[in-house]
Amino acid sequence: MPSDIQSILDQITSYLPTTDTARIQEAYEFAKAAHEGQLRFSGEPYITHPVEAAKRLLTLQPDEDTIIACLLHDVVEDTDIDLLTIAKKFGKPVAQLCAGMEKLGTMHFQGQERQVENLRKMFVAMAADLRVIFIKLADRIHNMETLGSVRHDKQQRIAKETLAIYAPIAARLGIFNFKKQLEDLAFQYLEPVAYARVKREVAGTEKSRARFVKQAIRDVEQLLKENNVQGTVAGRTKHIYSIWKKMEKKGFDYVNEIYDLFAIRIFVETEADCYAMLGTIHQRYTPLAHRFKDFIAVPKVNGYQSLHTTIVGINPSGLPTEVQIRTHAMHAEAEHGAAAHWQYAEKKKSVRLNEQRLNWVKGLVDLHQRMEDNDEFVEALAIDTLSNRIFALTPNGMVLDLPVDATPVDFAYAVHTEIGHTTVGAKVNGKIAPLDSSLQNGDVVEILRKKENIPNRFWLSFIKSESTRSKIKSYFNALDHEENVAAGKELINTQLIRLGKSRLTNDYAILRTYKNRDLSLREREGMLERVGNGSVSAHTVIRDLFHIGEVATKHAPKNVAAQKKTDSKPSEVVIAGETQLPHNLAKCCKPQAGDPIMALMSPRKGATIHRMNCKMFAKANPDRRLTASWGASEAAELVSIIVESQNRIGLLRDIAATISGLRIDIVDIDMKKNNKHNIAHAINIEIHNISELASVLDKLERIEGVETARRMVPEKKERKKK
């Protein structure tokens, strides 16, 4: 008996002792004979693939039928053997799993050209029997591990498909062990230079990380012992793709700029032990404010449960460290997700699903049975299966992949550039929708067009896709100089009017001094041209021209209890992309707001902020350094705005929700009727900068029924005649 199949038998009997090993052995021999003479691109016998896929599948502790189906999953597709033969020899359940794999075998992700039938197959397979997806994910992992043997264009297609579909589905099912593997394997082919660099830099921290983890484990184990809590402790390092994503999000250039590169995990017996250990950790070490998350009381949608906290003092270098506390059962679910819900009845060799945690999958069975065609199926699909993107459909069933919160304008340009240019409106799921509305997964979008229509520069303020932005800018770049200048003037004037400022003069005098530079008339005109063709936004220009204090309300309204303070608060310090880390300013170099700075970490003092050229950096251990910068220093100012609109039910609610949605505080609202049908809302809000004010005015004018939204200009008092 070959050692590879023996290792499979040994593993499955370790968690399922009553397994019929002879049946699994028979399936292996059957598959080996069926694939006789077939080779993989690597030159290996084909049987190595189902065997290796089965080994990866074993980490989920599947049942006997699932392992057998994994060994046989390519037999029906790649040989003359049919499903009826499989059913007679190994049983109907195995044949059904093989049939599910056969249907998924022809799925290929092709970006915007990918048809809805492929998504339908994936969802229906998940709903009918999740084990098909477990096999498919294990199959994909081994295919990715051996992807180096195929040609480059196929590598790219398969890697994109893996990152866009299979890794998110593994995450949605909570199988994070598979998700991490799939992401790293795909990243290796899609960004080979970045992958190699991150991997090299992570390896460079291995020795110092190992020392820290070893000491931290000893310290935490001692805490467990002192508190009579049964548990184990381990260290966890972020996987390569997640490190890269965080570097991109935070704008970091090096891996060592990430302070939470690794974490300590504590595994205990009961939920009560989790909270007891959390209290003990917080008593011994300093927790960081706003860095605690209770996923036990409020689990994630995929069932993930754990306590997360970030502390200072456990790492000898003084760096903050994330600590995760969970039970052993919670950890099993965190690694295996939906697969952890399958329980094995030894006598019946059957499996059952934890329905409470996976209702979103179970519901797809009923959905599939009720729906006749693809469009109806996906239109009714209201779940967010793929977390980092959405899929929207044309009325004839073509699927487009778009960024989260993409708009109908993004959708139109994704179909075709000319369709985007001539868009005048959109229907989402059969109803008219604003062009700046956010599309949801499964939306059916119909673009309304007029051949004579042209793009609107205002679209640049709300679209999400960079591809869409590029196409719109290209259109306006091709227009004549005079048209772009005129369009730029109109956009700037719109913003000036909203702020209660005078319109542009003939010589654009307001632009004469811009960013501490004196601009010639030609340069001022050039700036307007760039605004007109979309290279620079009108918001950006206005933000650079005015300070929020210039448009603030000078006197608080009578019903405000106390005058708001307008003095600027001290600048906050952003350390490694975080604003909540405790810190001190170094006495040696006395950094001031605006100076280039860096943080040095120490076990006793935490973070100390130094000037970048401070001599302390030459002496300090590089592992103790973190990037630092000065955050925003503008205090909130009281600004009065006026919103004029038609009267309708729910209008005030929509106005308040729009302002609050931008995280802007409302001080008060005074409503006055202009006439029977029109109404004016005088609103006092707290604003930090001109960009924030421009955004809220833009958003308010998009509300149904709102005619104008602008800053309220104080009335000038007339001088009394002597």
Same domain, 15 and 116: yes
How distant, in Å, are the alpha carbons of 75, 132, 388 from that of 136? Answer: 14, 6, 21
The CATH number for 394's domain is: 3.10.20.30
In this prediction, residue 387 carries a pLDDT of 41
Give the pLDDT band (50/70/90) at residue 338: low
Torsion of CA 374, 376, 381, 385, to 10 degrees: 10
Residues in the chain: 722
pLDDT of residue 358: 45
Q: Where are the beta strands (DSSP E) in 197-273?
A: 231-237, 262-268
Of 375 and 525, the structure prediction assigns the larger pLDDT to 525
Domain boundary among 190, 220, 237: 190
The first and second tokens of residue 5, run together, are: 């199949």
Q: What percent of the chain has pLDDT over 90?
A: 22
The reply to whether 243 and 168 lie within a common domain is no
Asked which of 292-296, 365-369, 537-541 is least confident by mean pLDDT, the reply is 365-369
Question: Is 409 strand, coil or helix?
Answer: helix
Looking at the chain, the whole-number percentage of residues with pLDDT higher than 70 is: 81
Q: What pLDDT does 261 receive?
A: 78
Asked whether the beta carbons of 50 and 71 are under 8 A apart, the reply is yes
DSSP-assigned letters across all residues of 128-189? H-HHHHHHHHHHHHHHHHTGGGS-HHHHHHHHHHIIIIIHHHHHHTT-HHHHHHHHHHHHHH
| The pLDDT of residue 347 is above 50 | no
Query: Residue 670: is its pLDDT beyond 70?
Result: yes
Model confidence over 169-187: pLDDT tens digits? 787 777 888 999 999 999 9
By the 8 A CB rule, do 78 and 134 touch? Answer: no
Asked if 216 and 100 sit in the same domain, the reply is no
Asked whether residue 507 falls in the same domain as residue 466, the answer is: no
Q: Is 566 part of any domain?
A: no
Specify the pLDDT at position 561: 40
Residues 209 and 321 in one domain: yes
What average pLDDT does this structure show over 196-203? 90
425: in domain:
yes
Long-range contacts of 383-387 (CB under 8 A, 24+ apart): 383/441, 383/442, 384/172, 384/440, 384/441, 385/123, 385/168, 385/169, 385/172, 385/441, 386/164, 386/165, 386/168, 386/169, 386/172, 386/441, 387/168, 387/171, 387/172
Q: Which band of pLDDT confidence, cut at 50, 70 and 90, is reported for residue 408?
A: very high
pLDDT given at position 188? 95
Q: Helix (H, G, I), strand (E, B), or coil: what is residue 566? A: coil
Report which secondary-structure segment, H or E, holds 462. Answer: none
DSSP letter at 504 equals P
Number of Cβ within 10 Å of residue 716's Cβ equals 6
CB atoms within 10 A of CB 676: 7
- Chain mean pLDDT for the chain: 79
Higher pLDDT, 172 or 627: 627
Give the residue from 630, 653, 668 where a domain finishes: 630
pLDDT at 123: 53
Among 183-192, 232-241, 309-318, 485-494, the range scoring the smallest mean pLDDT is: 309-318
Long-range contact list for 352-357, CB < 8 A, 24+ apart?
Answer: 353/130, 357/303
Regarding whether 138 and 155 lie in a shared domain, the answer is yes
Q: Residue 145: is its pLDDT beyond 90? A: yes
350 assigned to some structural domain: no
Which range has the worst mean pLDDT, 125-129, 224-228, 557-561? 557-561
> For the chain, what is the domain count?
6
Residue 352 falls within a domain, yes or no? no
pLDDT of residue 562: 41
Rg over CA atoms, the chain: 31
Residue for token digits 């930090």? 688
Does the structure show a pLDDT above 50 at 298? yes
Domain final residue pick, 630, 646, 678: 630
Residue 267 CB-half CA count within 13 A? 12
Give the model confidence (pLDDT) of 106-141 as tens digits.
555 544 334 344 554 555 555 467 788 889 999 999
Residue 242 placed within a domain? yes
458: DSSP letter: G
Catalytic residue positions, numbered: 77-78
- Residues 586, 499 share a domain: no
Distance separating alpha carbons of residues 41 and 45, to the nearest angstrom: 10
403 shares its domain with 436: yes
- 3-state DSSP helix/strand/coil percent for the chain, to nearest 5? 50, 20, 35
Residue 261 within any structural domain of the chain: yes
Per-residue model confidence (pLDDT) at position 125: 52
Do both 214 and 317 map to the same domain? yes
Is the model's pLDDT at 355 over the cut of 50? no
pLDDT in tens, 469-497: 878 888 887 777 888 888 889 889 988 88
pLDDT band at residue 352 under the 50/70/90 scheme: very low
pLDDT over threshold 80, residue 512: yes
What confidence tier does 195 reach under pLDDT thresholds 50, 70, 90? Answer: very high
Task: Tell me: do 75 and 181 sit in the same domain.
Answer: yes
Calpha distance 465→387 (Å, rounded): 17
Within a domain: 237:
yes
Those residues whose C-beta lies under 8 Å from the C-beta of residue 215, and which sit 6 or more positions away, are 316
Query: Order of strands, edge to edge, in the sheet holding 665-673?
Result: 665-673, 678-687, 637-646, 706-711
> What per-residue confidence (pLDDT) applies to 117?
46
Please state the rounded mean pLDDT for residues 440-458.
87
- Whether the pLDDT of residue 560 is over 60: the answer is no
Q: What is the pLDDT of residues 590-611, one digit of tens each?
A: 887 767 788 887 766 678 888 8
What is the SS3 string spanning 24-54?
Answer: HHHHHHHHHHHCCCCECCCCCECCHHHHHHH
Residue 407 has pLDDT above 60, yes or no: yes
- Say which residues have a Cβ less than 8 Å from residue 35's Cβ, sequence separation at least 6: 45, 46, 47, 74, 75, 78, 79
Judged on CB neighbours under 10 Å (0-12, 13-18, 19+), 437 is middle
What confidence tier does 330 reach under pLDDT thresholds 50, 70, 90? confident
Per-residue confidence band for 514, with pLDDT thresholds at 50, 70 and 90 = confident
**Residue 119 shares a structural domain with residue 159:** yes
Is 369's pLDDT higher than 50? no
Using the predicted structure, report yes or no on whether residue 365 has a pLDDT greater than 50: no
Q: State the residue range of the domain holding 382.
A: 375-475
Q: What is the pTM of this model?
A: 0.56
Contact predicate 277/224, CB 8 Å: yes
CATH assignment at residue 278: 3.30.460.10
Q: Do 116 and 84 form a contact (C-beta atoms < 8 A)?
A: no
In a domain, 624, yes or no: yes
Give the confidence band of 89 by pLDDT, cuts at 50, 70, 90.
Answer: very high
CATH, residue 7: 1.10.3210.10
Checking if the pLDDT of 285 tops 80, the result is yes
pLDDT value of residue 21: 93
Residues 442 and 491 in one domain: no
Maximum distance among all Cα pairs of the chain, rounded to whole angstroms: 114
